[in-house]
Amino acid sequence: MGCVVACNLKTISLLYKNKLFFNGGIMGRKRIKAIQTTPLSQKLIELRAKTGDSREELGARVGVSATYIGMLESGERQPSRDLVLKLADVCFSSSQKHQIDELLLLAGYSPLHRPALHTPQDPLALKAEAAESEQANFQAFSAWIIELLKNDHFEEAQQALQMGFQRFQAHVQLQSLVAMLELSRGHYQEAILSQNSAIEAYQENPPLQVTLADLKLNLGEMYFLKAVHQAELSQADRIQDLQRACAILAEASALDREDVYILDEFARCSFNLALLLVGSEAASLWQVCVGAFEAVLGAENKQVLGQVVLNEASLFLALAYAKLGQFQQAFFILDLVSTYLPEHWLLHYVRAVCLCLSYQQNADPALLERASAALRKALRDPEPGNRSAAEAPDDPDLAVLRESDPLLLQALNSKHEEQAR
């Protein structure tokens, strides 16, 4: 995967299939136990009691028989989504959105009024929210500014920093804000010098409002942004800046081992550096990535990162395994993620890359066919942040796929031109 990433595993429940037992080996179903009520059937009994309807009356209002209402209440039948909505119309007013959504969820259908359950909040929105709700928290504010800069929102970052100069008063905080202001202007070296000055000031007279780990985190982020945003840097200079960023982020993580945000930033910085290395150097760093992303996903407080970040961490972990030739682990993770994120472009993009890497070890044409299908799925995702078409034409890991499938390359170029317009 040749992109630079500036970027949640949900708990996956094990699903056990119901076994069909045969009596003495004779084909034919035999009910083992009586039907039990379900949360949905119990809710329907409760709602009918509140409306005061008989089964006949409720059935007439929603267009089914009294017998069918009885089957729903006993748990013997599962209603269609359309029937659930008719029942909701009878039992709730249009303003009772929460109750309508609850009934749909109990029946196993997606809610009408709570898309946030299926659309995780993006990292920038989460950080903006934290900065607003914890106005005395300097690191929450800093994390918001850094996220704005990662997303190229330079003017918005500068406006927010003016507010920061009013909100924070400690000398170390102000010095760090100056560094971020320089960063927003593209003055990377000046930003790094200012942040180092903030660290020196902290070491001379540590204020209570900020920690050394937070200051080092910001310094590491500055080296990272310098490496990924400066197009004129040579490959050697880019690698050197990413190495510095990784070293500083490792120091920050050692100072505060409970801070999962620092750990995640270290993992992502290491990931970007590994993409630029080759041979044993790259293999060693991919192993570091595996350890770091596993630590992030295993952290008790990982949910503070938000689901989007954790989704990405899972997919980057899968790719790191594939880079090490550990394809069983890689595809296991991808299959897990596909159970709750089946259409996301990054899932299919990473799968395509992993299949191409697997092809390099085992030249099975079926692997390239699957890779092509995965990349086409990635291209179909309408998400505005879909970078498949932008990254795939130059991704070195997909070179073999571009050579073997000229039509795919044509589709990539067409999609990229469409997005550019």
pLDDT in tens, 49-69: 988 999 999 999 999 999 999
Average pLDDT for 87-100: 85
pLDDT of 87 above 90: yes
State residue 28's pLDDT score: 35
pLDDT of 176 above 80: yes
Average pLDDT for 380-386: 86
State residue 21's pLDDT score: 31
Q: 120-256 is classed in which CATH architecture? A: Alpha Horseshoe (1.25)
Q: Find, among 78, 66, 127, the residue nearest to 104 by Cα.
A: 78
State residue 125's pLDDT score: 84
Q: How confident is the model at residue 117 (pLDDT cuts 50, 70, 90)?
A: very low
Just give the CATH number of 39-117.
Answer: 1.10.260.40
| Cα gap 261→267, rounded to integer Å | 10
Based on the number of CB atoms within 10 Å of its own CB, is 387 exposed (0-12), middle (13-18) or buried (19 or more)? Answer: middle
| Cα gap 414→400, rounded to integer Å | 19
Neighbours of 137 (CB within 10 A): 15
> Tens of pLDDT along 132-150?
888 899 999 999 999 999 9
Which one has a higher pLDDT value, 209 or 5? 209
| Cα gap 140→65, rounded to integer Å | 57
State residue 420's pLDDT score: 56
Average pLDDT for 246-269: 97
State residue 231's pLDDT score: 87
Lowest mean pLDDT among 56-60, 90-94, 103-107, 119-123: 119-123
Measured CA distances, 302 to 44, 217, 295, 330 (Å): 37, 18, 9, 21
- Name the residue ranges covered by the structural domains of the chain: 39-117, 120-256, 343-421
User: What crossing angle do the helices spanning 307-323 and 327-338 adopt, rounded to 10°?
Assistant: 160
State residue 106's pLDDT score: 82
Annotate 191-258 with DSSP letters as a single string: HHHHHHHHHHHHHHS--TT--HHHHHHHHHHHHHHHHHH-TT--HHHHHHHHHHHHHHHHHHHHH-TT
What number of residues does the chain have? 421
State residue 270's pLDDT score: 98
> Tens of pLDDT along 206-243?
988 899 999 999 999 999 999 999 989 999 999 999 99
Annotate 115-172 with DSSP letters as a single string: GGGTSPPPHHHHHHHHHHH-TT-HHHHHHHHHHHHHTT-HHHHHHHHHHHHHH--SHH
Lowest mean pLDDT among 26-35, 114-123, 268-277, 353-362: 26-35
pLDDT of 304 above 80: yes
Cβ–Cβ under 8 Å, residues 144 and 163: no
pLDDT above 70 coverage of the chain, percent: 87
The mean pLDDT value of the chain amounts to 86
Which one has a higher pLDDT value, 414 or 302? 302
Q: How confident is the model at residue 2 (pLDDT cuts 50, 70, 90)?
A: very low
pLDDT of 32 above 60: no
> Tens of pLDDT along 399-421?
999 998 888 777 776 765 665 55
pLDDT of 31 above 50: no
State residue 215's pLDDT score: 97
Q: Find, among 233, 235, 264, the residue nearest to 250 by Cα.
A: 264
Q: How confident is the model at residue 186 (pLDDT cuts 50, 70, 90)?
A: very high
Identity of the residue numbered 117: L
Q: Find, among 113, 112, 95, 120, the residue nearest to 303 by Cα.
A: 120
pLDDT of 337 above 90: yes
